[in-house]
Amino acid sequence: MNIDKQTKSEELSIKELNNLIIDSIQDIKGKKIVKLDLRHLDDAPTDFFIICEGESTVQVKSIADNIYRRIKREGNTLPTHFEGTQTSRWVLVDYFVTVVHVFHPEAREFYQLEELWSDAIVTEYDDLV
């Protein structure tokens, strides 16, 4: 029996969920990945934001789709909300405790979520080549 596989009755921990999201982004070569820990903020809408970008709308959609597929398959979990794939300028994948924002570079610059939540604890991840 492979102990790395999740059984249907097991749920992912927040750490496992976030690590799987980061890995899913890196699978598709997502860029400028950051995790914002919002747990210490009173007015935060969630515990974590994970933000990244793709170089094209096709890559943005591919990253979001890969997150959805892998979390469903490996974590037996579906997002509570999944939107933005029609234009793929900003795709949101909401897992309640963690909300993933996959941006096209211009949309990320325009909305500046990192600036809006600048008092969050920030973890940056290296881009894979």
* Model pLDDT, residue 67: 98
What's the CA angle centered on 91, arms 28 and 124, to 5 degrees? 60
* Model pLDDT, residue 10: 63
* Model pLDDT, residue 11: 79
- Is a pLDDT exceeding 80 seen at residue 20? yes
pLDDT band at residue 7 under the 50/70/90 scheme:
very low
Average model confidence (pLDDT) across the chain: 92
Task: Kindly state the tokens that stand for 52.
Answer: 């990244």
Distance CA 40, CA 19 (A): 20
- Is a pLDDT exceeding 50 seen at residue 4? no
pLDDT tens column, 62-109: 999 999 999 999 999 999 999 999 999 999 999 999 999 999 999 999
Percent of all residues in the chain with a pLDDT value above 70, rounded to a whole number: 91
* CB contact at 8 A, 98 and 46: yes
Task: Kindly state the tokens that stand for 61.
Answer: 């959609």
* Model pLDDT, residue 84: 97
Which domains are delineated in the chain?
31-123 (3.30.460.10)
Distance CA 87, CA 9 (A): 36
